[in-house]
Amino acid sequence: MNDSSFKVGITKTFPCSYLPDEEERLLIAVDERLQNKHSYSILMTEGFRRSGEQSYRPYCENCDACQSIRVLINDFSPSKSQKRALKRNATFTIKHSTQIKEYYYPLYETYINTFHQDGSMYPANIEQFQSFLSSHLTTQLFIETWVIVDGMEQLICVAVTDMLTNGLSAVYTFYHPNFKRYGLGRFSILTQIDLCRQLKLPYLYLGYQIDACQKMNYKNSYYPHERFINLKWQLVEGKCSTG
C-alpha cells in the first residue's frame, strides 16, 4: 500500500454538532487496506480520527474550525494548575486493561445519562457503548482510575485510548458524577501523557480542537502541541492565536 494514497468517500452535508450556525461534511476512509494499526496510524497523521470502526476527517465547504490536535510528549511541561491536579489526585490508583470490562458499562451509562441528555448518545445502551469505544482498527487500552471509598476500592473513571505506532489517541473518557470536582477528564489526559512517556511514544492525539466551541476548549491547555491546519502540522508553543 502506498502510505500517502487511499480511497475516501464524502458524506452529505448535515448540521454541525458543535457550531450551531455551521454545516458539517466528512471524509470517510473506505479503503479496506486501512483496517490495521499501521495504516490507521498513518491516517491519524493526516488529521483523521475514528468513531467505532469508521475513520473520518472534517471536510466542510465553508468552515475549517475543526483542527486535529496532538501533544508533543518529549517537550510537554505541566502548567501550575495541571501540577495541582496531579498533586490533588495523587492518591488515586491507575490500572490498565486491553479488554472492555463488564463493570465499565454502569459507569458509562451513569455518565451519559447525567451529563449528555441533550446529545445523540442519550440514552446510553450497551450496544452503543461497545460499538463506539471498541474497534478492530487498532488495539484499545482502557485506563482505569480507582479510589478507596469506605474501605472499598471504587472505579471512578475510564479513559479509552487507541494505541498507535507513533503515539496514543484519546478516544473518550467517562467518570462518576460524584467525582466531577476532581477534574477527571483533564486528569485523564495527564495520565495518558505520562503513559506516552513510559512507552516512549512522541504524541498524544486529542481529537479535534474547536476554538469557538467552549466545551471543546479543554484540549488546548497542554503545551506545546501541534494542530493540523491546511493539511500540515503547525506548532503551538503557548497561549496564542494559530492564525
pLDDT tens per residue, range 115-142: 988 777 889 999 999 988 999 999 999 9
Cis peptide bond upstream of 123, omega within 30: yes
Evaluate whether residue 178 is within a structural domain. yes
Evaluate whether residue 211 is within a structural domain. no
Evaluate whether residue 55 is within a structural domain. no
* Biggest CA pair distance of the chain: 56
Kindly report the CATH number assigned to the domain that includes residue 176.
Answer: 3.40.630
Evaluate whether residue 156 is within a structural domain. yes
Let me know: does 146 contact 153? Beta carbons within 8 Å: yes
Report pTM: 0.93
Residue 157: strand, helix, or coil: strand
Evaluate whether residue 105 is within a structural domain. yes
Q: 182: domain range?
A: 77-198
| Cell 478516544 sits on residue | 171
Let me know: does 205 contact 193? Beta carbons within 8 Å: no
Residue 121 has a pLDDT of 84
For strand 203-209 and strand 167-175, is the pairing parallel, antiparallel, or unpaired? parallel
Closest by CA to 194, choosing from 243, 135, 141, 233, is 141
DSSP 8-state code for residue 177:
G
Residue 78: strand, helix, or coil: coil
Evaluate whether residue 7 is within a structural domain. no
Residue 135 has a pLDDT of 92
Evaluate whether residue 138 is within a structural domain. yes
> Could you give phi then psi for residue 133, rounded to 5 degrees?
-90, -30
Evaluate whether residue 47 is within a structural domain. no
Low-confidence ranges of the chain (pLDDT < 70): 1-4, 239-243
- Count of structural domains within the chain: 1
Residue 3: strand, helix, or coil: coil
